[in-house]
Each structure stands twice: as structure tokens, then as C-alpha cells.
Amino acid sequence: GQRRPDLRENSPVMLARSAWAGSQRFGVSVWSGDTSSNFNSLRQQVRAGLNMAMSGIPYWTTDIGGYQGGNIDDYSFRQLIVRWFQFGAFSPFFRNHGRRGANHIDAADECGSTNGSNEIWNFGQEAEEFIAIMMRIREQLRPYVMEQYRAASERAEPIIRPLFYDFWKDDDAAAVEDQFMFGPDYMIAPQLFENATNRTVYLPPGELWVDYFSDGPYIYDTTNKTKGIRVVIPTPLEKFPVFIRAPLHEG
């Protein structure tokens, strides 16, 4: 069944804990193992995913929220899992997984033997609302995501990649470690710090960058610049910097 040609976009995917050079030819997705539920671990996952992609394995994922140490009744964890969902929605594979703790026992709906549940409506109304936004965005991006899967399969293009992959002439882009491209059209700058209300984003030159989450269509124009620009973007819990790389038209 793994190679059935009639399955096409509904083809199964193998999810493995371990992988090595060449695993991508089997259609295997690897995840980063049992990560901890904290912001430091989230920051590590961004680097891990990008390094995996540049090692030739495009199909990668992480346990959204971290696998262990999260308490669903703790606001710090609720903030963390919203931020992790924001990162996860623009990762090659999008999945929530983990052993959750709780201050109460919910035997009918617990995840493992830890008292905690793992459905998004158990993280509080605010977190549920913000996570649902990301779930809808991911679903809307389904055709685009499938395009990136095909590009990875047919042309070995990484799905998520450091800025220097697309902007290889830009020395400043090579130094950016906390932003990435999701395919050729979306630049993602996840908020990776607890309680942070803004973050700086680097925008490479020669492009029109559309702020996805702005209240109105806000465009940063770097088409006539030889150097990129840095902008500070507000990051209330429901938002984070996502920029669309607008097509350029000559004439």
C-alpha cells in the first residue's frame, strides 16, 4: 500500500523516531523525539528542523507543545502551546502530541496516566481560540503544502529552509537563525520567548513583503534596496510575524 499510485495525495506517511542520510527516499517523516515543554525547547526545535532540512531530509515534525513536562492548567504552558502551534502550522508536518499533566484528574479523557488531556479545548478558551486560527490556516494552505511535498520529492527542495537558501547572495540572511522560509512564498518568524510582546524580523532585499497578520494590507518594499531591513513586529499571543513574498511584475 505504501507505493500505490492511485492514492496520490492521500498516500500514507511513515513517521519514524530515527532517520539517516537517504531516509527521505522512502517517504519517511522523522520527528524530534521526546522534547520538553518549555520555551528553550521550542527554540531548539526551530534550529533542529532547519538543520534536518539542510541535511537532505525534508519531511520532519515535532511534538507540538513538547512531549513532557507541560501542565494544561498552567498559563505558561497554555502560552507555550499556542506559540508551538504557530510554529507547527508552518512545519512540514503538523501534529500535536505529548504527555500532559493537570491539577485535576480527568480519568475519562486523560492522556496516558498523567491526569491531563491533550485536546485543544482543554487548554482554556483563549488558547483554544488562537490554536483554532492556526488549524484553519494550515487547512487553507493544504494545496500549497502539497506543492512543497512534490517539490521535495521531485527536486529535493527543502520544505522549511534557512533564509540563505532562497537569498544566497545576502550575507545578512545567512546569519539569521530564528526565521525561515516555508516553501518559496512564506517567511516565518515565530515568537520563541515567553511573555514577549514583539520581535525583530529581518526582511531580505529585492522583494515585496506582505505582513499576513496586519490589520490592513501592509507591504514592506525592499525591491530597490541592496541591503535587507529589520522591522519590529507586535506579537500578541494570537499573532506572530508571517510575511508573504509577493510576486514582482516587470514593466
pLDDT of 7: 54
Q: Hey, what's the cell of 221? A: 518594499
Q: Are 15 and 2 in contact (CB under 8 A)?
A: no
pTM, two decimals, is 0.90
Helices assigned H by DSSP within 117-244 = 125-140, 142-155, 163-166, 171-174
Distance CA 20, CA 28 (A): 10
Q: Of 93, 111, 89, which is closest to residue 102 (Cα–Cα)?
A: 111
CB of 62 within 8 A of CB of 85? no
What whole-number distance in Å separates Cα of residue 150 and Cα of residue 154? 6
Look at strands 14-16 and 28-31 and give their pairing: parallel
Condensed to tens digits (0 to 9), the pLDDT of residues 94-131 reads 999 888 888 876 555 545 555 678 899 999 999 999 99
Length of the chain: 251
**pLDDT, tens digit only, all 251 positions of the chain:** 455 555 555 666 778 888 887 887 777 889 888 899 999 999 999 999 999 999 999 999 999 999 989 999 999 999 999 999 999 999 999 999 888 888 876 555 545 555 678 899 999 999 999 999 999 999 999 999 999 999 998 999 999 999 999 999 999 999 999 999 999 999 999 999 999 999 999 999 999 999 999 876 689 999 999 999 999 999 999 999 999 999 865 54
Q: Give the strand pairing for 70-71 and 100-101.
A: parallel
What pLDDT score was predicted for residue 247? 82
Q: How far apart are CA 194 and CA 4, in angstroms?
A: 45
The reported pLDDT for the residue numbered 251 is 43
Crossing angle, helix 125-140 and helix 75-88, to 10 degrees? 0
Q: How far apart are CA 55 and CA 26, in angstroms?
A: 15
Q: What is the CA radius of gyration of the chain?
A: 19
pLDDT at residue number 1: 41
CA distance 192 to 194: 7
